[in-house]
Amino acid sequence: MLGIATFQTRMAQTQVEIDQLQRSIDRARATKQSLERQRAELRSPVRLGREAQAMGMVQAGTVGFVQVDLETYVDAIAASGRMERDEVGSTP
């Protein structure tokens, strides 16, 4: 009898823990969603435009393009640490 009682108590305790974990998962999921929403809002061009304007920035005028030779391009990318030099060279 004592064994059965202990077993039942243990089961009840585990169930409570499972319920608590489930609630934690739900909360974490809600937090993740909330953070994703905040990130999207922060990256929105509306906000960026407003912030830039507040900082006194203006929209760029005519854009100019310059021709860069491949060697210079490869060096610049490799120097940035984003890719190895060999990898850059293999890109078209």
Partner 1 sequence: MSHRSRNLDPDREGTGTRRVVRVADGSTAQTLRSVGEVRRRDVTARANEPRRSTAYGLKRRTPVDVHAHHFRVGEVRTRMWVILVVISLCFVGILVRVGMLQTTQQDVYAKFAAAQRKRNETLPAPRGQLLDRNGKPLAISVAAKAIYADPRAIADAGRTVVVLGRALGLSAERQKELLAKLSVPDRSFVYVARQVEPETALVVENLKLPGIGTQDEIRRHLPNGEVGRSLIGTANVDGVGSAGLEKQYDAVLTGTPGQLRYTRGTQGRSLPSSQKALIDPVPGNDITLTIDLALQYQTERALIAKVEELKARGASAIVMDSRTGEVYAMASVRRDADTGAVRVGGGNYAAVDSYEPGSVAKVITVAAALNEKKVQTSTTFMVPDRKMFWDEWLHDAETHPTMPMTVQEILAKSSNIGTIFVSQTIGPDKQEAYMRAFGFGAETALDFPGESRGILHPSSRWRGTENVTVSYGQGVSATAVQLVSAVNVIANDGVYVAPKLVRSITRPGGEAESTMASASRRVVSSDVARQMNLLMRDVVCVGTAKGWAGIKGYTIAGKTGTGYKAHKNGTYFDDEGRRAYYASFVGFLPAEDPRITILVSIDEPPPNAQHFGANTAAPVFNKIARSAIVDLGIQAPTGSGGCPSEPKENR
Per CB under 8 A, residues contacting partner 1 are 8, 11-12, 14-16, 19, 29-30, 33-34, 36-37, 40-41, 43-46, 49, 59-65
Residue among 59 and 90 whose Cβ is closer to partner 1? 59
CB of 30 to partner 1, least distance (A): 5
| CA angle, residues 69, 75, 79, in degrees to nearest 5 | 150
Residue among 62 and 90 whose Cβ is closer to partner 1? 62
